[in-house]
Amino acid sequence: MPLLFMQSPQDNSHIEQLCRRAQAGDNLAVQELFSVLTDSFRIFATHRFRDHAEAEDVVQDALAVVAQKYKEITFDSSFAGWAHNVLRNTISSHVQTKGTRARLQPQVIASMAPADRYDPDEEFVQSVLHCLEQVARANRRFARTLNLSYQGYTAIEIAGKLEMRIDYLYVLLARARSMLHGCLGMNED
């Protein structure tokens, strides 16, 4: 079976036909379509992640999104392109979340900090709270996306909770973080 993202136009038309048949309820087409997707996603994800378990997690997350959405969507361009974007967005979300979770894990923080860890003074805490209130007043969605992001939710989970498109979520997060950093007087590198 050819790989989904490295195909000839004939193979691509086969994938599109499988998708149409799967959308119509053909169970054999669904099995074949997801078999091809799984193989292709694994190859793509293993090039991105050294840890095979991590790559498999991303593949399964992306397949879950595809399985949940593909029946609802009319593909103007191609199913294969859409599926590839789902995988890329899942990888991006995973990488971002992985960084956030690493920052939030106490054992990581404890291992990096000196024995007498920095304890923020009351003035700093108050300035952070003041800035978060300003962000919330400016736009409630900014505050909600920041809150959910720093709680460790993935971008896909946040987008689902807030019922928004993933690309719009990334825009909101970038603007909210920029506003928070600006209020705190932090340099954004």
Q: Is residue 98 part of a domain?
A: yes
Residues 100, 155 within the same domain: no
Reported as a single tens digit per residue, the pLDDT across 129-170 is 888 888 888 888 888 888 888 788 888 888 888 888 888 888
The pLDDT confidence band at residue 171, using thresholds 50, 70 and 90, is confident
Instruction: Give pTM, 2 decimals.
Output: 0.49
**Which structural domain, as residue segments, surrounds residue 179?**
120-184
Answer yes or no: is 3 within a domain: no
166: Cβ contacts below 8 Å, ≥ 6 apart: 89, 93, 155, 156, 159
Res 104: pLDDT: 42
Contact 44, 5 (CB under 8 A): yes
Note the pLDDT tens digit of each residue in 112-138.
444 444 556 778 778 888 888 888 888
77, 104, 131 — which closes off a domain? Answer: 104
CATH of the domain at 45: 1.10.1740.10
Number of domains in the chain: 2
Residues 90 and 151 in one domain: no
- 48-61 tens-digit pLDDT: 887 888 888 888 98
